[in-house]
Amino acid sequence: MPAPRPVERQLKLVVLGRDGVLNRYRTEHVAQPEEWEPLPGALDAVARLNHAGWHVVVATNQPGLGTGLLDMSGLNAVHLRMNELLARQGGRIDAVFICPHTPEDGCDCRKPQPGLLLRISERFGVPCNEIVVAGDTVRDLQAAHAAGCEPHLLRTGRCEGLSDEEVAALAVQVPGTRVHDNLEALAQHLIQRERETRGEAASSTSGFGGLN
């Protein structure tokens, strides 16, 4: 009698916005490596997710490429700094997916369009409904919803300083959105949720919880 085939575990995938999620949001483009300044605790949060078996991918709109304010060599240098700083904390980003277009281009990959997320789903072989998406803007949530992913809003970056009521007004625009204080809180939520699914005791510290 043949031995039973091992059960294949689904790859766990979380997709993050970049500016305002991993690094401080700037009104200007992050054009130089030294301008990429990680948010407190963000690199540790990525490392913690990695250690818990999560693959982390970045999906970012970079219209400066389309307008000529950025070039790929400069953007690659910025992401090299990001990866070097992450490596020092024991973390990694598996891939960075970029939309280089301006709003006028009418592409399908500029968030809130779902194109980047659909390509990530195809590349990693993970169904969209099993992908966690987190960002600091409504367009991140809208892209997640359009692709069928799980939306999470972080109170960092462009949400920093907003009142509970203002954040709730953003989150309610996309069904199923959960709100977390920062990337650390999101990591805690995902890890604890998995533990609870396995029947392990855990408590939540993910901000003020879900908004539906």
What's the pLDDT tens digit per position in 110-145? 999 999 999 999 999 999 999 999 999 999 999 999
Give residue-wise pLDDT tens across range 29-83: 999 999 999 999 999 999 999 999 999 999 999 999 999 889 999 999 999 999 9
Could you tell me if residue 5 is inside a domain? no
CA dist 111 and 134 (Å) reads: 12
Residue 209 lies in a domain: no
Report how far residue 143's alpha carbon sits from residue 61's, in angstroms, rounded to the nearest whole number. Answer: 12
The token duo for 118 is 């659909």
Q: What is the C-alpha to C-alpha distance for residues 61 and 59, in angstroms, rounded to an integer?
A: 7
Range of the domain at 56: 12-197
Flag whether 203 is in a domain: no
Tell whether 31 is covered by a domain.
yes
CA distance 151 to 142: 8
- Asked whether residue 127 is domain-assigned, the answer is yes
Region for residue 176 given its phi and psi (left: phi exceeds 0; alpha: psi -120 to 50; beta: otherwise): left
- Number of domains within the chain: 1
CATH number at residue 47: 3.40.50.1000
